[in-house]
Structure 1
Amino acid sequence: MNNTKAIILGCVIGGAMTALAYTFLLPSDAPSNAAGQSTEPQPLYWVAPMDPNYRRDEPGKSPMGMDLVPVYEESTGGNEGPGTISISPNVVNNLGVRTASVQRRSLHVPIRTVGYVQYNEDTLIHIHPRVEGWVDTLHVKASGEYVKKGEPLYSLYSPELVNAQEELLLAMRRGSDDLISAARSRLDALQMPNEAIQSLMSSKKVRQTITFSAPQTGFVDNLNIREGFFIKPGNTLLSIGALDEVWVDAEIFERQSAQVTVGLPVTMTLDFLPGKTWEGEVDYVYPTLEQSTRTLRVRLRFKNADYALKPNMFAQITIHSEFDSDNVLVPSEAVIRTGTQDRVVLALGDGQFKSIAVDVGRVVEDYTEITTGLIDGDQIVTSAHFLLDSESSISSDFKRMEAPGALPSSVFTEATITDVMPSHNMITVNHGAISEWDWPEMTMDFTVANHVDLTRLRQGMGAHIEISKENDGQYVVTTVHIIDDNADTQT
């Protein structure tokens, strides 16, 4: 009996304790769980990592077998624009993202190319005979010999010259001035040296061989004769070129042709004499491109007083183009070239980035000129930008976000008054196109400012009017210049 009472008492006490625990403990825990669940962000949808157009309402796999990525409300972006991506500071740091500021600075574009030293063709002389004959004596033995003006080059036996000398002696014996003048003129035309003609007239003896001398000082080139050779008009016997000044023929790419003009300074180095630099200038820019190489030939001129520069030497050339100021430049490493488009990744701040399209100009060492797409002061990504671009380019429109330009608050335009409504303080005008507001030519009703005298306005009258935009967005005619044959009056 006592055991039964003890069991019953224990059950009562246990039930009471269970009820108390349920009453006091469970209500305090359940709301907290519910509140905790309500604060967790809920995905709007799931999207394929490589295809933002593939969306599902629940987790799963993409067509490529990749897990779908949840997209939350805060990650969908607000007004950042298409292609804008947001990355946490920790991820930015782990990726090693570096940025640089777009700069506006002067641009110096040195053009580096190669060239070959050549004779100055302005001073290059080719020796040709005027008569047929045989080379009796050759005073110059090899190409490259240095000769001075007046030194003998070769002696020639020519029956034609012998006959021309006899004609002069015959004319002298006859004493005819006309015949003497004609015979001497023929010897001059055959390029017989003047000293030989004077010797003939004084000695009255025909010379079987005539010696021809160097017409200028220089180096013998292209020696094409030897003793005993038979020569005739049209043969090039040899050439003499001066090396006091030389030409250098160089080639530049087609895209560089606009940067090269006559007179630009040029520096040149050669491997045979390291450390020495020659200074010259652009002497001539050829008018046509080489069809096979698509390059443009440029002729350079250099002084060569010590004869160190020799024809056919290979030279490294730097053409110093003029400084071009006010250019937008970015580090070359920041430009992403895809073959069909050039892009940079714009750093918008607060961990936001966007790929935008740019037009690339000249490339100078470590900098690239941007003609459109960036402005001075923009922040661009120079490191890890390929990763950012691969994500942003999926949905980007590649356009930078810009505030609309401020429009003028008032403009002047020519108009014809088609109607005057004094009771409404309005006029109807047909005005021309207004480019400042992108308005076409049209007929409109305008309210007129109180200080404008409507009594002076007539239908069909031409006028020069000022249209102003009020703070409430209304357009009002504030000034009217009447165009009349007799007067130009302001109302």
Structure 2
Amino acid sequence: MLYWKHPDNDSDFAAEPKKTSDGRDYVAVYDDQEVDFAQAKPKEPPLAAGGGPKKLLYYRNPMGLPDTSPLPKKDWMGMDYIPVYEGEEDEPGTVKVSVAKLQNAGVRSEPTAMRRLVRPIRAPGIAKPDERTLLTVALRADSFIEWLYVNETGRHVKKGEPLFRIYSPDMVKVQVDYRISANASGLRDDRGALRRMENLQIPEAVLVELKRTREPVISFDWTSPVSGVVMQKKAIEGMMMKAGDEMLRLADLSSIWVIADVPEQDIAQIRVGTRAKVSFRAFPNEVFDGRVTFILHELEMATRTAKVRIEVANLDHRIKHEMFADVEINAGDGEAERLSVPVSALIDSGNRQVVIVDRGKGRFEPRAVKVGLRGDGFIEIAEGIKAGENVVVAANFLIDAESNLKAALSSFTSEPPKDAGAPATEKKP
């Protein structure tokens, strides 16, 4: 056996078994069947759109090597070079792949388009109280606790609800001073004593009673200034509390903070006001809506993460402090449309990013691009392609490999440059 030839084209040969573009096997040629190349009829040139034959440009190597000839010739195996007509030549930088190979590899293309991209950033978080709602209940004078109405941590109190009953010698004394000044001045110059009682935050109900009866109120109830939950309780019935000592700590739990640890490389994508979804392990089937309200100004040195504060509504008080949370922040503007392609279209080798542009009729062009935001399975193309161009989204590595092989063969077979450093020949006189 000498070689294999195309079943329909006597001028198309191969040194090894192969198939035609429609899947048929090349025919084996033995010694007694060798074709007389001198008498072989050349293939009829294809017709142009106007009806006449297409212009013959050159002959190319039958094995795919980047070697062309202006005249018919044979390669070292005796195979005829294949004629290339006008419209069939390869454009610089393009790769031509047969239809059969495209179908077998599952090559698929999609057009580029303008899309709104939102990139989800996932991070762990912990529920914390809203620091803006924390309130300490403390007295401005030494006092004794006669009765403790709120005697347990975690109890919910309403604004104006009595917390405890106190007796304070200093508060009684200032009431007496007020009465004396009022009696002495005929109720015309009691502003100094009244201001001292206000500075001690004596309840309004005590002042009303004092003005009505002209008698100091010895012990009275201290009410809650806000509605909230008792987070800490240091007051004990019967004990004396010094001025400024924290008796109770209250917090409004209708909203809570989730502090998320966001990796350093993702911080630039997050803005105050960005929406977030929060889920807790205690409520695996629920998602709570939140919004980024603050990004702390320093990173954790050990983990290289930044603290991002997310505010979440908690009207039913189901979310408990220190609960673990899983946070998903919708990074990116989500409003401006960006030219994007499916992520599968990008070939990223680390030092270059390439997409394969489908030029049609089995022609493909590897093109370097600059990428931007990623999200929702798409990636922004900032530079390199235009809207509407088709890019390969499946089996693009096959075409990239073909392109690299073609470039390597072209470099291997090209004529080496002349040595510019060779000494010039000396002219003889």
TM, length-normalised to structure 2: 0.63
Describe the shift of the 1:261–1:131 C-alpha distance in structure 2 as closer, same or farther (beyond 3 A). same
Which residue matches 2:359?
Answer: 348
Which residue matches 1:381?
Answer: 392
Alignment partner of 1:368 is 2:391: no
Take 2:35 and 2:325, find their aligned partners in 1: how far apart are those partners? 86
**Partner letter of residue 109 of structure 1?**
V
Give the drift of 1:334.
Answer: 1.9
Which residue matches 2:156?
Answer: 146
Describe the shift of the 1:147–1:213 C-alpha distance in structure 2 as closer, same or farther (beyond 3 A). same
Give the drift of 1:146.
Answer: 0.9
Match for residue 89 of structure 1 among 96, 99, 106: 99
Match for residue 36 of structure 2 among 12, 32, 38: 32
- CA deviations 1:239-296 (Å, max 9, x no partner) are 322334445455656656556453x66555444345545456x373447464644546
Alignment partner of 1:107 is 2:98: no
Q: Indicate conservation of the 8 Å contact 2:112/2:340, yes or no.
A: yes
Take 2:39 and 2:243, find their aligned partners in 1: how far apart are those partners? 113
- The total of aligned residue pairs comes to 342
Which residue matches 2:221?
Answer: 211
Give the drift of 1:206.
Answer: 5.5
Unaligned runs of 5+ in 2: 1-32, 44-58, 67-74, 409-429
Q: Indicate conservation of the 8 Å contact 1:126/1:239, yes or no.
A: yes
What secondary structure is seen at the aligned counterpart in 1 of 2:108?
Answer: strand
> How does 1:56-455 map onto structure 2 within 5 Å?
80-82=91-93, 84-94=94-104, 96-109=105-118, 111=120, 113=122, 115-172=125-182, 174-175=184-185, 177=187, 180-201=190-211, 202=213, 204-205=215-216, 207=218, 209-227=219-237, 231-250=241-260, 255=266, 257=268, 260=271, 262=273, 268-279=278-289, 282=291, 284-286=293-295, 288=297, 290=299, 292=301, 293-295=304-306, 297-302=308-313, 304-317=314-327, 323-324=334-335, 326-393=337-404
Give the drift of 1:43.
Answer: 8.3
- CA deviations 1:114-134 (Å, max 9, x no partner) are 655444555443323222345
Rg larger for: 1
- CA deviations 1:177-212 (Å, max 9, x no partner) are 4663322221110112122234445262462x5532
Q: Indicate conservation of the 8 Å contact 1:355/1:396, yes or no.
A: no
**Partner letter of residue 343 of structure 2?**
S
Moved over 6 A (4+): 38-47, 72-75, 394-397
Describe the shift of the 1:197–1:308 C-alpha distance in structure 2 as closer, same or farther (beyond 3 A). same
Q: Indicate conservation of the 8 Å contact 2:117/2:337, yes or no.
A: no
Give the drift of 1:299.
Answer: 3.5
Q: Indicate conservation of the 8 Å contact 1:270/1:316, yes or no.
A: yes
Take 1:377 and 1:154, find their aligned partners in 2: how far apart are those partners? 74
**Partner letter of residue 32 of structure 1?**
D
Take 1:393 and 1:323, find their aligned partners in 2: how far apart are those partners? 37
Aligned-residue CA RMSD (Å): 4.4
Take 1:211 and 1:328, find their aligned partners in 2: how far apart are those partners? 67
Give the drift of 1:174.
Answer: 3.5
Take 1:198 and 1:394, find their aligned partners in 2: how far apart are those partners? 96
How many percent of aligned residue pairs carry the same amino acid?
A: 24
Unaligned runs of 5+ in 1: 1-28, 48-56, 60-69, 398-491
**Partner letter of residue 346 of structure 1?**
V
Take 2:135 and 2:205, find their aligned partners in 1: how far apart are those partners? 21
Give the drift of 1:153.
Answer: 1.8
Take 2:64 and 2:285, find their aligned partners in 1: how far apart are those partners? 68
Describe the shift of the 1:85–1:368 C-alpha distance in structure 2 as closer, same or farther (beyond 3 A). same
Take 2:183 and 2:60, find their aligned partners in 1: how far apart are those partners? 128
Take 2:295 and 2:61, find their aligned partners in 1: how far apart are those partners? 71
TM, length-normalised to structure 1: 0.56
Query: Larger relative contact order (C-alpha < 8 A, sep ≥ 6)?
Result: 2
**Partner letter of residue 349 of structure 2?**
T
Describe the shift of the 1:117–1:74 C-alpha distance in structure 2 as closer, same or farther (beyond 3 A). farther
Q: Indicate conservation of the 8 Å contact 1:245/1:301, yes or no.
A: yes
Take 1:240 and 1:110, find their aligned partners in 2: how far apart are those partners? 38
The structure whose residues are more often helix, as a share, is 1
Describe the shift of the 1:46–1:78 C-alpha distance in structure 2 as closer, same or farther (beyond 3 A). closer
